[in-house]
Copies of this chain bind each other. A is one copy, B any other.
Amino acid sequence: MNLRLVGPTPLPPTVRDALARPMLNHRGPEFAAMQTRIVNSLQHYFQTAHDILLFTCSGTGGLEAALVNLLSPGDAVVAVSIGVFGDRFADIAEAFGAQTHRLRFPWGSAADPDALRAKLAEIKNARAVLITHNETSTATTNPLQELARVAHENSDALLLVDAISSMGAIHLPVDEWGVDVAVTGSQKVWMIPPGLAMVSVSPRAWDAYAHARMPRYYWDFKKMRDAIAKGQTSFTPGVNLYFALDAALDLMNAEGFENIRARHARLAQHTRDGAQTRGFELFADPKFASNTVTALRVPPGVNGKKWRQVLNQTFDTVIAGGQKELTDKIVRIGHLGWVNEAELDACLDAMTAALPYAQAN
């Protein structure tokens, strides 16, 4: 199957082998050594010298962890949103009682740093700024470096970044840009199944942790840091995903971080070019088009849902649809993780071939 979602992404053979390894003692020396290897590699890809915590959950769990460890009910936060996942980050903050000020931008466009500056001037006491680095729902990458600079120059707010679908593939030097917490998910660039969220925590975030009063237990950062220091995890970890991540990081380390980023840039350009050559229209603002996912408008006269069904059933190809207000208006092609040009060409060819079978009526 040509699985072209924005995650879960396909699994390389050595990752599949690793998933099937016999179970081991999650409190023993073999697990401890594996976790150390994984954390060291992740520090490289996060470009951080600070803590990396791993939680057994989806990416959304990682976002919840970021919020509940650093904030208190009533804290003002500015939630920058350019799509479904930006809205979700804001929704979680609101669910836990943060005073959530939403700064929303039209879907398909990136966040405007000037608007963030104005919002921070208006909300003088913002404790955190929430930003989605790569908005999967619209295939748009925010100008995070500029947004981070504006946030730090105009506030003392913590910078919490949803990097679920960007980390490892799109430039994001966590320490250099002052990102206090960055969250990614195993089923994205990391080429393993869903079920692990990886989270970086800055020294400034640890300062905030000391005073934060949102309730937490499973997500507790300190419990996890203390456990990792002993080669363990605070609660039973998703062991076979650790096996897989260990194997996937071997592949990534062999390819090299620069090469991985260059490959994702190249595959994204290849997808955008290939789509336009075949007559499809790009959705996202080209200046901010994502390197891990491309969104195309559903052509006039085509039923988006039917298109994806035909692709799945007849062409063994799976692409994503649009979400919320973009349902049946766009489709999305993931090009992150274990993917190459030939698979993307095959996907685009199948999309073209499926069109006649996907009429709107």
Contacts and interface: CB of A to CB of B under 8 A. Distances in A.
Interface of A: 1, 3, 5, 7-11, 16-17, 19-28, 56-61, 64, 91-92, 95-97, 185, 187, 193-195, 214-218, 235-241, 312, 318, 320
Contact of A23 (B8, B185, B214, B218): B8
A312 B58 CA distance: 33
B236 A58 contact: yes
Given A25-B3, A240-B19, A235 B318 contact: no
15 contacts: A1-B24, A3-B23, A8-B26, A19-B240, A56-B56, A56-B57, A56-B195, A57-B218, A58-B237, A60-B218, A96-B215, A193-B240, A194-B236, A194-B239, A195-B241
Given A25-B312, A58-B238, A214-B215, 5 more contacts: A8-B23, A10-B22, A58-B235, A60-B217, A238-B238
Contact of A240 (B26, B96, B97, B240): B240
Contact of A95 (B22, B215, B318): B215
B25 A239 contact: no
A130 to B, nearest CB: 13
A239 B185 CA distance: 13
Number of copies: 2
Given A56-B194, A215-B95, A318-B25, A17 B16 contact: no
A336 to B, nearest CB: 13
A1 B58 CA distance: 30
Contacts of A91: 217
Given A57-B218, A236-B185, A312 B26 contact: no
Nearest to A18: B20
A28 B318 contact: yes
Contact of A17 (B20, B97, B235): B20
Nearest to A241: B195
Most buried by B among A27, A97, A194: A194
Most buried by B among A10, A91, A185, A240: A240
Contacts of A92: 217-218
B11 A25 contact: no
A151 B92 CA distance: 34
A183 to B, nearest CB: 12
Contacts of A235: 58-61
A122 to B, nearest CB: 26
Contacts of A17: 20
Contacts of A193: 23, 238-241
Nearest to A338: B23
Given A64-B217, A218-B60, A194 B25 contact: no
